[in-house]
A and B are shown apart, each in its own frame.
Chain A
Amino acid sequence: MAELGHSTFPMPTGAVSRPYRGRQPFSENGFWQQYPDPGTGKSSTLITFIPDALATGRFELRTDCYVREVVVGRDGRATGVLYQDGAGNELLQEAKAVVVCGGGIETPRLLLLSRSAQFPDGLANGSGMVGRHATFHQYSFAIGLFDDEVSDPLYGFSGHYNNLASMDFYETDASRGHVLGSLIFPSMIGHPVNWSFPGRPSWGQASKDADRDFFNHSMKIGVLLHDLPVESNRVDLDPDVVDAWGLPVARITHTPHPNDYAQERWQVAKNGEILEAAGASRVIPVNMERITGNTSHELGTVRMGDDPATSVVDRWCRSHEVDNLYVFDASVFPTATGINPALTIMANSWRCSEHIVRYDARGWTD
């Protein structure tokens, strides 16, 4: 990258690298990427905030509970939630306030499921904005194949999934013909069962040869598409399909904005140039037509904003319509940001929780 005039930085990783508060760094390998870490190295909520919260004695965690509705009283305020526990018992939990954190798909679904005479179109949905403006951070990439007669093995499986990133393409540059940009980052292509590339011979001797020749001679540079919020890209309730509890599943309707296509094409091509400069003998663009819906960042479906006509929650993530109903997850993002969202989701939750404790909770009575 330096040779091409670009800057990079080490990708922040949610794991401890030295003993910290009783936690031990686990392993130098990225084996637990996408799986729960059996040790205490990876900073998942389960081994960070939840134990702290439990230790206060003021927090109770009820696992395997499935909330089907946020219930409201006659005054239009939330009074609690209806849920089923792991044993199948239907329970009502009363509450002074309800904070929904079901994620970018399940949160709008729960609000839409919470219909009542006062809220016929779903809770806090007078604006009709619940579920709209869904963004997904399509994860596209350029793959580089390296000739094993020329290049040494890359051994991409041996370290963490990614260590390096660049923000050089994040800001809008009008000369590229599109707005916005995203973080880019290199990684291996996948563990053996998931390793593949478009055009790979799928069976027979050619398939075995390709696996053998390129497994350790391949890598990719990814794009976390900074996709534009579009009102018609949405999550709503499926009219036909129900889940195992008999409730309508979430239905997702999505067409990328033309700027998404342009941004992604440009960046994937740029990533390919970087791979070529690094010595790849062949570059294979993997654009979104090829991997429709490759996403793990579901955002924006319960937008934050000052205007109740165009957003669902205010700047403190409290719903405009129900003053003791909050949403503290990725649903509140007004725009997608072209970077991984977890830290921002967490920081925002801290910010808004503090606001509840300082101000809103004062008005709550027993």
Chain B
Amino acid sequence: MGQADWVVVPLDANASDEPLYFDDHAWRTIEAATARIIPTDRQPGAREARAVRFIDRMLAGTQFVYASADGSGFLRMDGLEEKAWLERVETRRALYDDGVVRLDELARSRFGQPFVSLREEEQDAVLEELGGPKPARYRLDGAEAGGTGGAPAGNQPMDEDLLDFFSLLVLNTRQGFYADPVYGGNAGGIGWRVIGFDGPETLRATTDGTYTTIDYLIVDAQWPYENDPRVTRAGWR
């Protein structure tokens, strides 16, 4: 069956803030780790965005994979399509299950307590054991070795299937901060606001045409745009 014919199940990834896959301890451990990956500062971080819920829904099965275009629910996969996705989900579950155990082992051996009970600097030290030194502030004139964030995805989705636990956790936290809120993270568009992405209020707004970015455009500019004084004038906005 083509995706257009898939049944829409009226599911809401945000219906509750309870885990569907994780047990309570894993939920709190991953939540704490996400909060160190995108920390809360003068603006909200991964904790407030509910990145842990995004990750939990991703691991819960195949029911939260394809949001319906209007955001009213999720497409019900079946057959080979679902089988292939389940393989992926199972690989990730194993990485997260082992990852939580590993975080606690490192936390206990270094600081004598489970990961969730550590202070923030201690949690960072545990994460550094998995992912290497915590990146320093990016400087426009600094050496390029600042961080391990790679090239943008370009025209392709990123391949998540070959990542180790820490890299997957970092990527999933980022997705839980920046993906559409329909998937369980980026609560209320928090992540988007932090970076100044004026995204759609709801997925529906992207399908009924009410989502607009017109305020950012010079609607009647004529080609060649670079001759238009409003385009070339620095600080037109």
Chain A residues engaging chain B, CB cutoff 8 angstroms = 1-2, 8, 10, 26-29, 31-32, 34, 36, 38-39, 63-64, 86, 139, 141, 143, 145, 147, 151-153, 155, 157-159, 163-164, 189-216, 220, 244, 281-282, 284, 286, 290-291, 294-296
Contacts and interface: CB of A to CB of B under 8 A. Distances in A.
A182 B63 CA distance: 43
A295 B156 CA distance: 8
Interface of B: 1-2, 36-39, 41, 43, 45, 69-70, 80, 83-84, 124, 127, 131, 134-138, 140-141, 144-158, 170, 173-175, 178-179, 191-192, 194-200, 206-207, 209, 211-214, 216-217, 219, 223-227, 234-237
A207 B194 contact: no
Given A34-B155, A152-B235, A198-B144, A207 B192 contact: no
10 contacts: A28-B214, A64-B2, A192-B197, A202-B170, A203-B135, A203-B170, A206-B146, A207-B37, A207-B135, A212-B196
A152 B234 contact: yes
Contacts of B136: 201, 206
Q: Which of B151, B217, B235 has the most CB of A within 10 A?
A: B151
Q: Which of A36, A202, A215 has the most CB of B within 10 A?
A: A202
A295 B154 CA distance: 8
A211 B147 CA distance: 12
Nearest to B83: A244
A199 B147 contact: yes
Given A163-B225, A207-B147, A220-B152, 9 more contacts: A28-B213, A139-B154, A153-B237, A192-B191, A192-B192, A197-B149, A202-B170, A208-B45, A215-B197
Contacts of A220: 152
A351 to B, nearest CB: 27
A29 B141 CA distance: 33
Given A199-B138, A199-B149, A206-B136, A31 B156 contact: no
A159 B213 contact: yes
A286 B39 contact: no
Nearest to A163: B225
A78 B174 CA distance: 51
- Majority secondary structure, A binding face: loop
Contacts of A31: 200, 206, 211
Contacts of B219: 28
Q: Which 10 A-B pairs have the closest CB atoms?
A: A200-B149, A201-B135, A201-B147, A158-B216, A192-B178, A158-B213, A215-B195, A38-B207, A29-B213, A294-B154
Nearest to A291: B151
Nearest to A161: B155
Nearest to B179: A193
Nearest to A209: B137
Contact of B213 (A2, A152, A157): A157
Nearest to B127: A203
A195 to B, nearest CB: 6
A201 B179 CA distance: 19
Given A206-B135, A207-B135, A190 B140 contact: no
B221 to A, nearest CB: 10
Given A38-B206, A199-B145, A201-B136, A193 B174 contact: yes
A199 B195 contact: no
A208 B192 contact: no
Given A204-B135, A294-B155, A215 B196 contact: yes
A203 to B, nearest CB: 4
